[in-house]
Structure 1
């Protein structure tokens, strides 16, 4: 019996099996890392000595069980996702869906010469398929995992309406942007990759600018932070470092989840700060005018989707701790982390479009994925950016994770320089407790996945816990 080496196969087959092999290599690596971390969850059943002063045994056990459930769920959902992707490639799912899109085009009176229109039909069908196959996993994660551990605040009706709304909004953005990008590539000539890069840069800047003002409010209620001590202190702190703050909002994240967060956005002299209501101590729902209102008793009628579930009470942060958290966030701005991330992102984008320009003419790339008679531009984008660039994308992702951890330590140090070290430590401990973060991690899992340093490392760097 003669065994055929992969190197004896046609180049199209070599490309296909190399892509498939690398995909499974990444999956197995991720599964191995998760296996190591699950071992930590299972074996670390008692609060480590150095954590006794900041975490009680009950919270430690709750966080351990929550993270264990999330890890087990991640294993099965990851296995399904990898299997689904493999079957799509092996069974020719991509060219099949492209042909279906072509059939739809014929039914509505368009021929194959309308490639951009066919690309939009293909994209719509692909995102519909992804939405339907991912929905059961999302439902299980929200209504089993998050519900079990006290984070979910949604009804099923609210969840489904929200999913439909997200799909519609995504399509309203994705389809016009994709059609314009394909058009630019078609008419751009030899330097189309420069025009395509400039277009995607403009789109990303516009989306970042309008997201919080026009897109996010479609899903969550934003209200100005009421006048008072907290708002005054935030404005004073922003002014002390010349942060061009214009508005401070509170977003009603509690209708979805009791997880906490805070962020800022905006360009140039128009910066806004957003606080999740779950971050605030003794947070309350917001009425239409943006003023806190008392919680209503739970209604026995659960048929109304707009009826909120009882809030899962969290400890929240006091004003001094919120200021410390914002001191960390403002540190990212003052130290130029946002600008650096944008520069890195755009350099990467330009490099990828440049390489795309070199590879798009290679027919063997299309043949490898079942396109023997045509070379659609959208399919070329998918093949090159998603499959051919996958080794590079994995390496870049790891480097950005390392860089992100460095930025987090620097932002913590900035807050410490503002005299907020003890308040930041207290806030980190509270947020870790409220979000059921597990403070013990396998070193390899942490190195590969954690874009934010583990709690213990941050507390040590802030001087709250001494290094052994």
Structure 2
């Protein structure tokens, strides 16, 4: 067996294993969701009606079914791009038109983005105007949906194309240490974007208005002050123009802005909103944000370092029909093949994220001096957003970045979650 044949065999084995595992987990969860639907957990019998339980199960089942089809279609699209010879043929065509390597590389990579985007487009439409509308969440119109996609494409082109040219230049001109230069470049760009996002990027898609003066604002400002949390302000986002889903988040690294969806304000009372804010403050004060940024940076560095070794091994390129190695072919293969080799990291990241959620819940209970508002907020958020209460344990362990509602409620009632004032 030639080295290139071995590379291809290993890739196909891992790719198909990943597809089969994800498909099996989706199918297992689908059967489980439909089977447990009639049984409302005793802890929630007074707060969840049979009708809400059935709707949540139907919503979960519809999304799972669509996900099963989407995964298979996109897996087929990836295999077609990799195994049909279309990528080396397209690269040769671009070279035949007289394009120099940087332009040829960008043309190849943009073509892959476009092809995969087209393959996934029908599923985005079905999810938004089929499933989300059927269950009362979608409030967007097709022109608004299309406008968001076009703005996203324009933004990706304006930011991504110069970055892509710079990455390809470093890969070709910086020698064996190119990965260090690319790592520094991408990290710097990410930091700049995090700084620019609140003022320049986010307002392209939503309106952000200061939370009006009043009881709620005073309560939230007092809560932030009690936690020693410095913020650039409290803002309301007009999420209801597009969706009925509710959420809250921070953006910014040093003095973040607090963003509350207007749907959240409509669904929760003041003390429940304070609990949601306390949970988010917990992530910040417990340094979860910095930990995630650090992990992302380390992961990026390791992946670039691995790519720097693979780019020097011709069998990797020969396995997929490329006559020779090149920076753009390396990026193309990393884009299409990378998940087959790294998918097993997903559950590890999800488990780590769930630990952070438990810790932030406990922080919120301690900051408020009472775990009841956090429990009430979690129940309300889950029911309003039709989160299924009892996913299959294997599915949750593999995919979910948050514990289930029942797990979070149990943790908040546990003796180790000691309310009683400001956390240390």
Q: Relative to 1, partners in 2 of residues 1:191 and 1:425: Cα closer, same or farther, differing over 3 Å?
A: same
348-357 or 134-143, larger mean C-alpha shift: 348-357
- Paired residue for 2:271? 320
Could you tell me which runs of 5 or more consecutive residues in structure 2 were left unpaired when the two chains were aligned.
416-424
Q: Relative to 1, partners in 2 of residues 1:427 and 1:389: Cα closer, same or farther, differing over 3 Å?
A: closer
Offset of residue 51 of structure 1: 2.4
Give the TM-score normalised by the residue count of structure 1: 0.85
- Paired residue for 1:220? 206
Q: Does 1:437 align with 2:387?
A: yes
Q: Secondary structure at the match of 2:357?
A: helix
- Paired residue for 1:117? 103
Offset of residue 118 of structure 1: 1.5
Cα contact 1:235–1:245 (8 A) shared by 2: no
Q: Relative to 1, partners in 2 of residues 1:325 and 1:247: Cα closer, same or farther, differing over 3 Å?
A: same
- Paired residue for 1:399? 348
Q: Does 1:64 align with 2:57?
A: yes
Cα contact 1:197–1:350 (8 A) shared by 2: yes
Q: 1:75 aligns with which of 68, 71, 84?
A: 68
Q: 1:378 aligns with which of 307, 323, 328?
A: 328
Q: Does 1:280 align with 2:229?
A: no
- Paired residue for 2:290? 339
Q: Does 1:246 align with 2:195?
A: no
Q: 1:16 aligns with which of 8, 28, 39?
A: 8
Q: Relative to 1, partners in 2 of residues 1:275 and 1:15: Cα closer, same or farther, differing over 3 Å?
A: same
Q: Distance in 2 between matches of 1:162 and 1:194?
A: 35
Q: Does 1:203 align with 2:189?
A: yes
346-355 or 119-128, larger mean C-alpha shift: 119-128
Cα contact 1:352–1:385 (8 A) shared by 2: no
Could you tell me which runs of 5 or more consecutive residues in structure 1 were left unpaired when the two chains were aligned.
1-8, 282-315
Q: Does 1:368 align with 2:354?
A: no
The ranges of structure 1 where at least 4 consecutive aligned residues each deviate by more than 4 angstroms after the TM superposition are none
Q: Distance in 2 between matches of 1:40 and 1:346?
A: 37
Q: CA RMSD in A?
A: 1.7
- Paired residue for 2:406? 456
Q: Relative to 1, partners in 2 of residues 1:182 and 1:102: Cα closer, same or farther, differing over 3 Å?
A: same
Q: 1:412 aligns with which of 361, 366, 379?
A: 361
Q: Distance in 2 between matches of 1:144 and 1:258?
A: 14
Offset of residue 165 of structure 1: 1.6
Q: Secondary structure at the match of 1:242?
A: coil
Q: Relative to 1, partners in 2 of residues 1:132 and 1:389: Cα closer, same or farther, differing over 3 Å?
A: closer
Q: Relative to 1, partners in 2 of residues 1:169 and 1:384: Cα closer, same or farther, differing over 3 Å?
A: closer
Q: Secondary structure at the match of 2:114?
A: helix
Offset of residue 170 of structure 1: 1.2
Q: Relative to 1, partners in 2 of residues 1:211 and 1:101: Cα closer, same or farther, differing over 3 Å?
A: farther
Cα contact 2:207–2:237 (8 A) shared by 1: yes
Q: Secondary structure at the match of 2:146?
A: helix
Q: Relative to 1, partners in 2 of residues 1:208 and 1:383: Cα closer, same or farther, differing over 3 Å?
A: same
Q: Distance in 2 between matches of 1:334 and 1:162?
A: 34
Q: 1:390 aligns with which of 340, 345, 356?
A: 340
Q: Quick check: which one's helix share is greater?
A: 2
Q: Distance in 2 between matches of 1:65 and 1:175?
A: 41
5 Å-filtered alignment, 1:115-194, equals: 115-194=101-180
Q: Does 1:102 align with 2:95?
A: yes
Q: Distance in 1 between matches of 2:91 and 2:115?
A: 13
121-130 or 454-463, larger mean C-alpha shift: 121-130
Cα contact 2:77–2:116 (8 A) shared by 1: no
Cα contact 2:74–2:116 (8 A) shared by 1: no
- Paired residue for 2:22? 30
Cα contact 1:154–1:257 (8 A) shared by 2: yes
Give the TM-score normalised by the residue count of structure 2: 0.93
The size of the alignment, in residue pairs, is 413
- Paired residue for 2:419? none
Q: Distance in 2 between matches of 1:168 and 1:97?
A: 24
Offset of residue 97 of structure 1: 3.2
| CA offsets 1:409-432 (integer angstroms, 9 cap, x no match) | 000000011124111111111111
Q: Relative to 1, partners in 2 of residues 1:209 and 1:27: Cα closer, same or farther, differing over 3 Å?
A: same
Cα contact 2:235–2:257 (8 A) shared by 1: yes
Q: Relative to 1, partners in 2 of residues 1:250 and 1:129: Cα closer, same or farther, differing over 3 Å?
A: same
